[in-house]
Structure 1
Amino acid sequence: MLIGVMSDTHDNLPAIRKAVELFNKEGVDLVIHCGDYVAPFVKKELSKLKAPLKGIFGNNDGEKEGLRQALGVEDEILELNVDGIKIAVLHGTDERIVRAFARSQLYDIVIRGHTHKYEIVEFGRTILLNPGEVGGYVSGIKSVAFIDTQKREIKILNLETGEPLGFMSL
């Protein structure tokens, strides 16, 4: 299965459109959003995804009821088991909680957002993945990640240039 991962879209509709186009072009089977959509009107672009969207709330998602209705967002933490790979998704506002999830070794991958900085870090048998930010407002770099459960690899790409920003084998 090919999973597209995005975070911190912050209402940037042109950047969201670009991410959706890339995910559709690559034929992802699932898209994970790590929070900070911000407002329900992002549905305009996210509804163009060909794959199902699963996501969690971020600290800037003030219109929670609207996001629930528009996108089906329900929780602040999401647990998935995809092709035998255990995944936890959280926004990551509290660094202690993020590190606790990673150090718990209960998951193969812990996916987080919030910092707007892309990274792939190993914690024992667990990989901590931050796809960076789609919005590009803080770091100036718009990025997304892909998890390929068959090839057992994770990669982060610059959304503007397609340039690889990070890679790790599972």
Structure 2
Amino acid sequence: MVESALTKIAVISDSHDNLVNIYRALSFIKKQKIKTIIHCGDVCAPAVLEEIAKKFKGKIHLVFGNVDGDQKMMKAVATKFKNIIIHGQTGQLEFGGRTVVFTHYPWLAQKLAQSQKYDALFYGHDHRVWEKKIGKTVLRNPGTLAGLFARATFAIYDPKTDKAELILLERI
């Protein structure tokens, strides 16, 4: 799927139904005039996905995580809100010639990075902020938006420069 390369992208993961943190992050994302969110899984409840879609009018690209239990209902929410695109276990987007792939699982991220087909790769699951280069591919974990077992974080990715800025929720 080809997206516009003119804007930065918000990358979030592991929001775990924490609406307070989700609303705070969405407010910041809107102020930055960001039009696309990549969510690397573990939204958790379909009602929370619906809240995100109501509060953010741009595109929301989502892959499922291990605690996204009611995937059938989440797909129903995506049908109701046309700004949600569910990709399943992995998603792939192109921004101005830069190929970005995302998943929930670190083991799958490592495998995808080794293929050398992607410029940027985002993943979640372990709630640990991480950045590592494997060949031409940069793997990044934006951490946990919920703030479970770590500080609440997310990332802003600029496809023009292939750089990501880590945002600490407590500082916005």
- TM-score (norm: length of structure 1): 0.88
CA distance in 2, matches of 1:98, 1:150: 22
Identical-residue share of aligned pairs (%):
30
Is the contact between residue 9 and residue 37 of structure 1 (CA under 8 Å) also seen in structure 2?
Answer: yes
Confirm whether residue 51 of structure 1 aligns to residue 51 of structure 2. Answer: no
Map 1:61-76 → 2, pairs under 5 A: 61-71=68-78, 72=84, 73-76=86-89
Q: 1:39 aligns with which of 45, 48, 57?
A: 45
Contact 2:103 2:123 in 1 (8 A): yes
Question: May I ask how many residue pairs the two structures share in their alignment?
Answer: 159
User: SS where residue 171 of structure 2 aligns?
Assistant: coil
- Note closer, same or farther for the CA distance 1:63–1:117 as it changes in structure 2 (3 Å cut): same
Is 1:107 paired with 2:114?
Answer: no
Contact residue 102 and residue 109 of structure 2 kept, 8 A: no
Contact 1:35-1:58 within 8 A present in 2 as well:
yes
Q: CA deviation at 1:35?
A: 0.4
- Tell me the distance in 2 between the aligned counterparts of 1:155 and 1:103: 24
* Contact 1:16-1:46 at 8 Å conserved across structures: no
The answer for the alignment partner of 2:155 in structure 1 is 145
**Change in CA separation of 1:98 and 1:74 when aligned onto 2, cut-off 3 Å:** closer
> 2:39 & 2:93 partners in 1: Cα distance?
13
Deviation per residue, 1:82-137 (Å, 9 max, x gap): 11110111101x62x22111121100011100010111111111000110000011
Structure 2: where are the runs of 5+ without partners? Answer: 1-6, 79-83
Counterparts of 1:87 and 1:146 in 2: how far apart (Å)? 13
Task: Choose which of 8, 11, 22 in structure 2 pairs with 1:16.
Answer: 22
Separation in 2, partners of 1:144, 1:20:
11
Q: Which runs of 4+ in 1 moved over 3 A?
A: none
Pairwise CA RMSD of aligned residues? Answer: 1.4
CA contact (8 A) 2:61 2:87 kept: no
Distance 1:52 1:159 in 2: 21
